[in-house]
Amino acid sequence: MSHANATLTPITRLRMARLVVDRGWTYASAAKMFMVAPRTAKKWADRYRTEGQAGMADRSSRPHASPNKTRPALVRRIVRLRWRQRLGPVQIAGRLGMQASTVHVVLVRCRINRLSHIDRVTGEPLRRYEHPHPGSLIHVDVTKFGNIPDGGGHKFLTRQQSKLNARATARRTGERGKNSEPRIGTAFVHTVIDDHSRVAYAEICTDETAATAIGVLERAVAWFAEHGVTVERVLSDNGSCYRS
């Protein structure tokens, strides 16, 4: 596929090449018609003569040989220093007597240019864990969050205003804690995530009982089915709502 700024597409190259090869136009005349340089018209005409229509397709710009490419033995030394000692490009370059930019290119090629991409224990590049297709495995979990009072909490308002908002919210909901103190309650976010695609289904509930967890799972399975995904297996932790 031609890049966005290409002057000629494969079809246009073919038209220009046929004018030169089949109809005898000069390179300059064909180039003028398609607003390119004569050497461009010659290039596509020569390809058309030798390869026919197939020669009008784009080719990779990658060189056939890279004589200046870093030697495999040196690459292994760079990777070893990165894995075992967690050194950066500048430190590795200083030890091996080479340019830091070259070390960085090698680290990027090996996908270990960021320490966050390397396992801290083994030093191996991190590999994303996933099942082979959507629905093969889904993960279920529950996360607790404190409810935000009507009008906002202390993250955006003063502590005093936040407490006033909490009392007003408690009066509206009827929630009470110890000693009948106003209580805004807790939100239980039940999440169901597909292991392959990482698509998630979530519900905000008022508890984490077994009945609630079962209901969320049933609705999640139905929601995935509406999107063409058949759930095969379910994975959970040892939460009380999953063990009961």
Q: How far is CA 143 from CA 50, 113, 117, 188, 205, in A?
A: 66, 34, 27, 6, 10
Give pLDDT, residue 178.
Answer: 64
3-class DSSP assignment, residue 176: strand
| Contact call for residues 118 and 126 (beta carbons, < 8 A) | yes
> Roughly what angle, to the nearest 10 degrees, separates helices 10-21 and 38-51?
90
Q: Residue 85 and residue 97: Cα distance in Å, rounded?
A: 17
Across 217-230, average pLDDT = 93
Task: Return the minimum-mean-pLDDT range out of 119-133, 193-207, 219-233.
Answer: 119-133
Greatest alpha-carbon span in the chain: 99
Q: Give tens-digit pLDDT for 105-144.
A: 999 988 888 777 666 666 666 666 678 888 899 999 998 8
Region of 59 on the Ramachandran plot (φ > 0 left; ψ -120 to 50 alpha; else beta): beta
Domain 129-146+186-244 in CATH 3.30.70.260: no
- Hey, what are 111's tokens? 């996908």
**DSSP string spanning 39-62?**
HHHHHHHHHHHHHGGGGGS-----
Calpha distance 172→165 (Å, rounded): 11
Joined tokens for residue 239? 């939460």
Task: Classify strands 186-194 and 234-235 as parallel, antiparallel or unpaired.
Answer: unpaired
| Residues 30, 40 contacting (CB under 8 angstroms) | no
Domain ranges of the chain: 10-56, 72-117, 129-146+186-244, 148-184
Chain segment 41-91, per-residue pLDDT in tens: 999 999 999 999 998 988 887 777 778 888 899 999 998 888 788 888 999
Q: Which residue has the higher pLDDT, 72 or 151?
A: 72
Q: Which residues contact 119 (CB under 8 A, 6 or more apart)?
A: 125, 126
Q: Dump pLDDT digits (tens) for 31-43.
A: 999 999 999 999 9
